[in-house]
Amino acid sequence: MLGPPGASQLIALLARRALICTFQFDAHVDDVLKLLQKYEDVPMSLADACLVRMTEVLSSAALLTTDSDFRIYRRHGRQAVPCILPV
């Protein structure tokens, strides 16, 4: 999705520890599983469920995605997931 230039830049950021993911799946397993069950008819992937959960934990988060399913998903039960969806 990032293409070759974007992927290499992302790898460089991760290697320099300039971009760090602090999400600890094991601390959020129950909440992620509830999301997977709620949206099993979409279907929601494990990665999508983790991203929705991250937006619940980080109140000022905005998700950059091309996945239109995030218009369907809700955080905290009823709130739209804050997304930036490029056209």
- Show the domain range for 64: 24-84
Q: Are strands 63-64 and 83-84 parallel, antiparallel or unpaired?
A: parallel
User: Residue 83 and residue 66: Cα distance in Å, rounded?
Assistant: 9
CA–CA distances in Å: residue 76 to residues 1, 83, 86 = 28, 15, 24
- The tens-digit pLDDT sequence of the chain (87 residues) is 677 888 888 899 899 998 888 899 999 999 999 999 999 999 899 999 999 999 999 878 889 888 999 999 999 999 999 999 886
In a domain, 13, yes or no: no
- Judge whether 12 lies within some domain: no
Domain tally, the chain: 1
This prediction has a pTM of: 0.82
The answer to the question of residue 41 being in a domain is yes
Decide if 7 is inside a domain: no
